[in-house]
Structure 1
Amino acid sequence: MATPVRASNGPFAVQVEAGKDYWWCACGLSTHQPFCDGSHRAQGVFTPVKYSATRDTTVWFCGCKSTANAPLCDGSHKRET
């Protein structure tokens, strides 16, 4: 698997907590989107991306797995067919 699986046609809105780390699924195979559940291990190509929250807020994690700003959404899902 050279390209990630598109997990969603839009981003995932998540309430994050200051000081907490989140591991974003980069492969798209996780059943706990947008977060990693270890599914990438079977493919051996992708690794999860760490996001460290600096404040309590809503973060938009990429669901299409095409963002250039991983793990956050950059609107790439709007440009794809």
Structure 2
Amino acid sequence: MTDAPKIAQKSPYPVEVTAGKSYFWCTCGRSSKQPFCDGSHKETGFAPMKYEADADKTLFFCGCKATANAPLCDGTHSKL
């Protein structure tokens, strides 16, 4: 079990989301399908965060896993 997520990358992931669709953001940083969960968190104490899109648009999902605006990027990666 770990208490700090792995930094997947120090920049956001731009994703075209679809209104009404659910996305499961990786919180542990271990997923090979970043920024989304692939189940790699098992036995880490982390769980994916569900995000439901309210409109078709491009969003920037956090890659460093340190955002205060999870699951979206807030620029924290620039301070790491």
TM-score range, shorter chain: over 0.9
The amino acid that maps onto 1:27 is C
Per the TM alignment, residue 70 of structure 1 is displaced from its structure 2 partner at its CA by 0.6
Q: Say what the alpha-carbon RMSD is for the aligned residues.
A: 0.6
Is 1:65 equivalent to 2:69 in the alignment?
Answer: no
Aligned to 2:54: 54
Note the C-alpha offset of 1:19: 0.5
**Aligned-pair CA distance for 1:42:** 2.9
Runs of 5+ unmatched residues, structure 1: none
TM-score for both structures, normalised by structure 2: 0.96
Moved over 6 A (4+): none
Report percent identity of matched pairs. Answer: 56
Question: Which position in structure 2 is the counterpart of 1:24?
Answer: 25
